[in-house]
Every structure is written in structure tokens, then in C-alpha cells.
Structure 1
Amino acid sequence: MDGTPRGHDVERPAGRVQALPDERLLVLEGDVDLSAVETFDRSTSDDLAWVRSIDVSGVSFVDTQGLGLLLRVAAPRGRDAPTDRPALLGASPQVQQLLEMLGVDALFEMRAVPGDDGAAADELRPPA
């Protein structure tokens, strides 16, 4: 073996979920999986009603636990106040497609990350 990483040897970035209550923002980065969500859950209360935006621009992978976290933020608003959807910032086409396939994309308002050049905003905007 020459030490060159193979497809199965490449390490993916560890996931992280960070709460920024003063900014009413939840930041998800790397692989948002069971480990990342459990770590976050141990450090915060279950009530995420304060979250208004979720930055997913740094997400490389999301599993059902990560999706569950997104739904914990959005679902109550979807039932009680459909116009009060949390903003999903910087969602990749893959994340958007996953949400669409599951039929939960309408629970979120897709937005570009603030400071993007505008091209990303057009890419993230749902079709009219």
C-alpha cells in the first residue's frame, strides 16, 4: 500500500451543531449524524422555538438524525403558523432534493448565506 487514501479510507469532517441564541441561529457543519446530534442534545434544552435560521452551508452529510433535528425546529411552526417558517441558509442542491423527496421542503424558507454574491440566492430560490 502506498499510503494514498482510497475512497473508503478518506475521513469525512466530524459533524457539529452549534446554537447561537443571540442570533437566533443554529449552525450545522460537517457530517450531521447521530453523534453530532446527540452531542448537541446533551448541551441544550429540547425547546428550539427560538431558532429562526439554520445555516447548513457547511454540511457535507446529513442522516436521519440530522434531518430529525431540522424537523424539530420546523415542524411545530408548520402546524401552527405556516408563514413563520425557519430560514434554511446555504442548503446544497442535495439537501434541498432530500427535503423535497420527503415532502418537508415547504417547512423551510430557502435562502442564501448572508454575504453570498447573489448567484447562490438564485440557485437556492425554489421555483415559482
Structure 2
Amino acid sequence: MKILIAISSKEYSGPTLDVGMNIARAIQSSTTIVDVGQKISEFSLKDVSMANEVMESWDIDRPGVDVLEWAYNYLSENQFIEEQALKDGFPKNVLIESGTGRAEVLLKGSALENLSMILRNGDIIKEFKG
């Protein structure tokens, strides 16, 4: 069984992440935590891509990374991530671009074997179907 936990902000996603991760832990399921940001229009996709490259060279995070980092810290505090991962901190430098508007990081969980975090941009319903 797989569980998908959708989060949207540091401010309101705590209870969602708490319930989802505790269910995942109880049934030992593969789990993905996803933050879907605003859709980027096709017209400005090239500009956004160039902006992401510039932000990377300036060591500025793309929008949404802060929410994933917050979720990572939550997972650390609640012992869902292995101890070695805690020492290294949130691996934002290993966010893997895996398609238009999608970045993913795979984590080694202590409570779950398969745990990943995804940052996507687009229509939230379409992104969850894809």
C-alpha cells in the first residue's frame, strides 16, 4: 500500500503530516509527501527554468523548498528518518529534477522503508493524478 500526504504550508500542514505519518508507520506503507505549488504557465516556463538556474548559482531555494524542509524537520523530530540523515540536515542539494515542474528527494526512513518528498508546480488535482 502507498500513502500520499499533501502539504501546502508550514503553518497549516502539521496535523495532516502527523496523522498521515502515524498511519504510514502503523501499516508500514511506502509514503510520499508532496507540496504542489502554483502552476507555471507554458509561456513563462523557459523564464522560470532560467530563474531556477540563477537562484541555484546564488544559493537561493526555489519556492516550496522551505515547506519540504519544514516537513523534513518534522520527520526528524518525530523519528521517522534515520539518525545519519539527521546529522546531514535537509538534503536540498540533492533535489532531483524529474520532469517539468517536479523535483524529488528520496529519504531513508527509520519507521518506513520507502519515504520520498516531492515538490511540484501545477494544478493540484492534475498533479496528484500524474
Regarding TM over 0.5, the answer is: no
Q: Which has the higher helix share?
A: 2
TM-score (norm 2): 0.35
Between structure 1 and structure 2, the one with the greater Rg is 1
Larger RCO of the pair (alpha carbons < 8 Å, separation 6+): 2
